[in-house]
Structures are given as structure tokens and as C-alpha cells.
């Protein structure tokens, strides 16, 4: 449902919103399967983004819409908001006049920051790799 909401924000028509929801469902299903298999959040997000990118490219001739935008719409709900929020909370804790256990807070904050950055990078890499590998060539 979140992907359909982002489809509205991206000005998709009402007929395209079910495809946005399907794109998000494919991303969530793929990521959940990867996490259940013991993959890291980053690896599962990469696989999910690649699956959504491939699915959008395979449906390119069937759909009369921008499939790259459809793939992005399906992947936006996978952006790790909780990791980013924990990073911000940790930075706020470090700026207190007398931070409690500043070393541990700094390490935990950097861990959340790195996980957020690598997850977003994995999503971007999964989408861009499928876009370049499955590119339509016009001669």
C-alpha cells in the first residue's frame, strides 16, 4: 500500500496504482524471503531492488508507463527509516552536555548510520544494475 501511495506522489494515474502496489509487494516479498534465509538487511534489499527492476523491465512492452519510475516507486518503502532515526537520536544524545557512555553511543550511532547508507546504496545499485543490464538498444 505504501508503494501505491508513492505512486500518487509521483503522479501515476489511477490505472497504474495497482502496478505500483504490485511492485512494492514484490519488493517486500523478496526482501522478506532474503531476511528469512539469513541474509543481511543490505543484501536482501539489493535482491529485492534487482527483482523489482527486472520485473519492471520485463513488463516494459506490456505496460504503457515509465517502468523505471515504477521500479523506484516499489523500492521507496524499503528505505530504512528506523536506522536513520536511530542515527539522529544517537547524534542528539552525543550533543548533550554530559553524554552517558559517549564511546558506546558513538559506536552504535555509526553502526546505524552505516547500515542506513549501505541499505540505500544496495537499493540504488540493484535498480541501476538491472536498468543497465536490461537496457533496450536502438540501432
DSSP 8-state code for residue 78: G
The answer to which of 7-11, 46-50, 134-138 has the lowest mean pLDDT is 134-138
Query: Taking all residues of the chain, what is their mean pLDDT, rounded to a whole number?
Result: 89
CB 53 within 8 A of CB 123: no
Span 108-123, pLDDT tens digits: 999 999 999 999 999 9
One-character DSSP codes across 23-82: HHHHHHHHHHHHHHTT--HHHHHHHHHHHHHHHHHHTTTT-SS-HHHHHHHHHGGGS-HH
Cell reading at 79: 528505505
pLDDT band per the 50, 70, 90 thresholds, residue 6: confident
Q: How far is CA 130 from the centre of its chain?
A: 14
Residue linked to cell 564511546:
103
Q: Look at residue 136 in the predicted model and tell me its pLDDT.
A: 64
The three-class DSSP label of residue 65 is: coil
Would you say residue 138 has pLDDT above 70?
A: no
CB 52 within 8 A of CB 74: yes
DSSP 8-state code for residue 37: T
Where are the strands (E) in 23-96, listed by range?
none
Amino acid at each position: 500500500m505504501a508503494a501505491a501511495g508513492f505512486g500518487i506522489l509521483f503522479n501515476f494515474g489511477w490505472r497504474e496504482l495497482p502496478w505500483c502496489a504490485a511492485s512494492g509487494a514484490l519488493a517486500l516479498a523478496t526482501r522478506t524471503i532474503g531476511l528469512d534465509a539469513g541474509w543481511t538487511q543490505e543484501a536482501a534489499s539489493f535482491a529485492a531492488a534487482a527483482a523489482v527492476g527486472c520485473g519492471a523491465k520485463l513488463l516494459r512492452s506490456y505496460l504503457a508507463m515509465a517502468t523505471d519510475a515504477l521500479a523506484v516507486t516499489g523500492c521507496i518503502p524499503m528505505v530504512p527509516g528506523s536506522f536513520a532515526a536511530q542515527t539522529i537520536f544517537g547524534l542528539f544524545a552525543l550533543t548533550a552536555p554530559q553524554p552517558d557512555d559517549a564511546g558506546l553511543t558513538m559506536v552504535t550511532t555509526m553502526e546505524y548510520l552505516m547500515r542506513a547508507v549501505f541499505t540505500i546504496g544496495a537499493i540504488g545499485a540493484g535498480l541501476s544494475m538491472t536498468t543497465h543490464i536490461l537496457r533496450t538498444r536502438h540501432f
